[in-house]
Amino acid sequence: MNYKGVIFDLDGVICFTDELHYLAWKALADRLNIYFDREINNRMRGVSRMDSLDILLERADREYSVVEKEAFAAEKNAIYADSLRQMSEKDVSDDVRNTLKTLKERGVRIAVGSSSKNAPLILERIGLDEMFDAVSDGNGLEKSKPDLEVFLKAAERLGLSPAECLVVEDALSGIDAGVAGGFATAGIGAAASYDKADYKLEKLSDILSL
Ligand code: B16
Ligand code: MG
């Protein structure tokens, strides 16, 4: 590992809450009678809650006020947060667990860089709340991915410069954020074929040889 630190995205990299996001947005879209599918949901990867709602409302046949939109976002989050209660340590794969453990043994500092305001709850549910040296999440962020803020804060909290860190992401917006911040980037899942990523991963443990 040629990097002193690794910053991991949460949803889609460490665990797979993306299906739960999909189901919660789908429930809201159905109630509002707006067409929604997994392809549209894919565009919401790494994107903040309110920006995700704007993507969902692109297909609405009327405009909604800020107050209405805030109520919709709260409605979706209530469904999503409720579904997070079914998550447990079993939702972390052996590959993810072994990768984090190996990095720690090698003295590499590790952080979470997530757009999600639910990140602390998710980390607690999956039993990784004590694992990371730093967490930078959607709480208190001014700008969401593809802005570099979330990863800059993570690097700062690790006490490292962007050039010393690798960002691992499943979202195109997350790779863009990493590139904008001057980080090396590795794409996995939906971002594995993204040409802006420096490395393409089949599985998380592939980073151990970078
Ligand atoms: P919340 P990540 C992101 O997490 C999700 O990929 C994205 O779908 C979601 O809209 C965003 O968090 C905000 O989540 O509503 O829980 O604050 O991939 O950056 O870990
Ligand atoms: Mg993600």
pLDDT tens digits, 63-78? 999 999 999 999 999 9
Question: Closest Cα to residue 110, out of 127, 134, 75, 80?
Answer: 134
Q: Which ligand is nearest to the CA of 150?
A: 1
157 in contact with ligand 1, CB cutoff 6 A = no
Query: Within the chain, which residue ranges are assigned CATH 3.40.50.1000?
Result: 5-16+91-209
Closest residue by CA, ligand 1 atom 13: 116
| CATH 3.40.50.1000 is held by the domain 5-16+91-209 | yes
Give the H/E segment covering residue 136.
strand 134-136
Convert the pLDDT of each residue in 164-204 to its tens digit. 999 999 999 999 999 999 999 999 999 999 999 999 999 99
How remote is the CA of residue 198 from the centroid of ligand 1, in Å?
Answer: 23
46 in contact with ligand 1, CB cutoff 6 A = yes
How remote is the CA of residue 45 from the centroid of ligand 1, in Å?
Answer: 7
Q: Give pTM, 2 decimals.
A: 0.94
Active-site amino acid positions: 9, 11
Q: Which ligand is nearest to the CA of 147?
A: 1
Helical segments of the chain, H only: 18-32, 38-42, 49-57, 66-84, 94-105, 119-125, 149-158, 172-180
Q: Which ligand is nearest to the CA of 44?
A: 1
Residue 154's pLDDT is what? 98
Atom of ligand 1 nearest to the CA of 10: 20
Cβ proximity of 186 and 151 under 8 Å: no
Convert the pLDDT of each residue in 25-37 to its tens digit. 999 999 999 999 9
DSSP string, 49-74: HHHHHHHHHTT-SS---HHHHHHHHH
Using pLDDT thresholds of 50, 70 and 90, give the confidence band for residue 90.
very high
High-pLDDT (> 70) share of the chain, %: 100
pLDDT mean across residues, the chain = 97
Query: Within the chain, which residue ranges are assigned CATH 1.10.150.240?
Result: 18-84
Helix orientation angle between 149-158 and 172-180, rounded to the nearest 10 degrees: 60
How remote is the CA of residue 19 from the centroid of ligand 1, in Å?
Answer: 12
| CATH 2.60.40.10 is held by the domain 18-84 | no
116 in contact with ligand 1, CB cutoff 6 A = yes
